[in-house]
Every structure is written in C-alpha cells, then in structure tokens.
Structure 1
C-alpha cells in the first residue's frame, strides 16, 4: 500500500491505523498483509463509507487533525466510492528480511536465483542489468541511488525500481542512503565469482 512519507512515522509507531481511498473497486483485502514504506501492515477491514460520515476520531486515526482536512485531502475522482481501510502493524517479520538474512545457498537455491535474475534481465528494456547492479552495489555500498544509476548510464527512478526487485528476492537491503548487499546477496555473488 502506498502512503505519503508524512504518514510513515505514524504507521511505524502504530498511531495511524486507518486510511481512506477513492477507488473504482477495492485494492486491498481484509485479512491480508501489505508492505508499506513504514513496514508491513495487516488489513483488518475494508468498508465503503460516505465521506460526509467520516468523523474526527477516524481522521485522527488516519493522521489528520480533523475530518474536514481529511476529506479535503482525499485524492481521485469524487464520483468513485470512498473506502475506509483499517489496519494494524503486523507482528510477523518481513519475509524479505528473513530471506535476505539467509546466506546458506544450496545448489537448488542458487539455480532459483539464477532463474529469477535471468527472467528479470529478459523482461528489461535495458538489457541484462541484475548481476551488473549487484556487483555495483557490492563495490559501492551506501552510495546514493542517483550516483549508482549514473555509473551505469541509467535514469535514477527506473534504477531504484530495479533495485527494489532485487530486494524482493532478498539480495539487497536499503539503507538511509543507498543500498548494500544482504547476506544472501553476498553469498550469491561469492558462489558465482
């Protein structure tokens, strides 16, 4: 689920537990976990509401001072349904973090990483980028994404999106600035060198 950066601290500390969205149809399902920039949240309920019925308590739970401010800030076509999404911080660990920490790679795991990297390379309009990017991050940990992208002649935004794909495979970790290889990513490169 996407949230503006201003809401991340409240999601992370558990003070924000509700959000409102205008959608054609629901984009989340109650009972499922979703990754946010502030961590994983479990969606508790998804209900259609009339914006006029949003009260100040819900607005505060969504990170707003009052209902009027929240309703004014709702994005999207006003003719679409307004959904109230209640969520809580997940107690379960981030599966990407668990995967990233697993540096034990048997031949089967190594082959699966190869298969997935090859698939990402084939699907890219920029050609083979996965292993080059892993090597780049290994050589320049904690380097700004824009600097890394420039080193390989790419635009920053698509480069960051690609690094996120490597993170989803448990091969990289995001830092305050830049990235580093995860233990799994280091183990993969060590086995392939």
Structure 2
C-alpha cells in the first residue's frame, strides 16, 4: 500500500488514521505491519465499504476535506488499469477502508545497530549457511563481501559484478536487510554494524576451514 510522505507524516502526527483504497484484493491485512519511509504502521482494520456510505468525518480522518473528495480520489483510478495486478484496480475492484496507526521506528534499524553475542553469532552464521545451501548458486556471503567493498554503488552494477540479474539479486539483499545485516542508501547499500560483525566472523570461519587438514 503506497502512501505519500505528507500522508505518512500525518499518520505519525495522529492527524490521519484512515486510508481508502480501490483494490481487487487487499494488499494488507488486519493485525499486520507495514514498513514505510517514516517507520512501521500498524494495520488495525481492513473493511470493504460502499463509497456512497463514506462520511465527511471519515474523509477528514483520511486527510481529505469531505466524502466527495474521497470518492473523487478513488474513481479516476478505476479506469486507468492496463495490467492485471492485485493492487491495480479495474471494474472488479472494491473500495477498502483501512484503519492504521503509527507503530514506531522500523525494527530493522535497531537490529542493524545491535551486535550479536557468541551464541547468537553462531546461530546467525548457521542460518546464513542454510540459506546458501538452499540456493541454486552461492550469493549470501558473496553479497556481503561485495557490499562491504562497494558501499553506495548502484545495485545494477553490483548485480553485474556477481553475474546476476538486478531484480532477483535485490530481492536477496532484502533478505539480508530483514536480518539487520545491510541497509539501503539513496544509492546502493552498506553493511550495518551487525553486518560487518557477521561478515568478519564468516571470513574467520572460512579461513579456519581452509586451514583444516583434510582427512
């Protein structure tokens, strides 16, 4: 669910707590969280509504002047769809009223700054190695090394250095971001303090394995 920065700021301030969207199927669910540029939003309720029943009070809670403004904002989108996508409205779409609230900073930001204890570090390395083992080709540790070497370099260039397509590789980097190991920059990425710790531990483990006599 895309929200403009003014709407996000209004949600943080408590001035907006409703969002109206025209969807084939909702892209958020009640009880879920939504990560945004200002932090996380809690999704409290997701309900189908008849546009004719939207009230002026609800419109103001959505940051608009009245119910007619809500309906006007929704209606043009009904005729602009050209591709069959869940979030792209068409004649089968319905109006959803979503009640949201600010839930605080993105939890990944705290993860990025938190280094791991010895046991946690071993668990993280085991998790990354399992991710690597399930992949059709290695990417986990190579991506950490590449981002460490080339912070703030464009993602397509980094993907090319790995011999990968950009979009699939960016999806993989998002998995590292979920673990607090990387963070996005205006251009490219960099390793977080946690990411640097994990990378160094992985490199030490790799060196130790290479130095182990083979039986």
Q: Which TM-score bucket, shorter chain as reference?
A: 0.7 to 0.9
Root mean square deviation of aligned Cα: 2.7
2:186 is equivalent to residue 179 of structure 1? no
Change (3 A) 1:25 1:187: closer
Q: State the shift of 1:102 in Å.
A: 0.8
Matched, 1:99 2:111: yes
How far did residue 76 of structure 1 move? 2.7
Query: Contact (CA 8 Å) 1:21, 1:84: kept in 2 or not?
Result: no
Contact 1:59 1:70 in 2 (8 A): no
Structure 1 residues 137 and 63: CA distance shift in structure 2, 3 A = farther
**Change over 3 Å in CA distance of 1:40–1:25 after alignment to 2:** closer
Q: Separation in 1 of the partners of 2:134 and 2:5?
A: 32
1:104-143 aligned within 5 A: 104-106=116-118, 108-125=119-136, 127-143=137-153
Moved more, 18-27 or 151-160: 18-27
Structure 2 residues not aligned, in runs of 5+ = 79-87, 204-215
Give the superposition deviation at 1:71: 2.6
Hey, what's the Cα distance between the residues in 2 that align with 1:8 and 1:124? 37
Tell me the distance in 2 between the aligned counterparts of 1:178 and 1:26.
27
Cα gap change, 1:118 to 1:87, in 2 (>3 Å) = same
CA contact (8 A) 2:22 2:74 kept: no
User: Equivalent residue for 2:99?
Assistant: 86
- TM value normalised by structure 2: 0.73
Cα offset, 1:123, TM superposition:
3.6
Provide TM-score, normalisation by structure 1: 0.80
Alpha carbons of structure 1 residues 162 and 56: separation in structure 2 relative to 1, 3 Å: farther
Q: Shift of the alpha carbon at 1:13?
A: 4.8
Query: Where do 5+ consecutive residues of structure 1 fail to align?
Result: none
Distance 1:25 1:10 in 2: 19
2:23 corresponding residue in structure 1? 22
Deviation at 1:189, TM superposition (A): 1.4
**Cα distance change, pair 191–96 in 1 and its aligned pair in 2 (3 A):** same
Aligned residue pair count: 186
The answer to whether the 8 A contact 1:9-1:38 is kept is no
Q: Which has more radius of gyration?
A: 2
SS of the counterpart of 1:90?
strand
Distance (Å, rounded) in 1 between the aligned partners of 2:131 and 2:123:
12
Mapped contact 1:143–1:179 kept (Cα < 8 A): yes
- Residue 11, structure 1, aligned to residue 8, structure 2: yes
- Select which of 180, 205, 211 maps to 1:170: 180
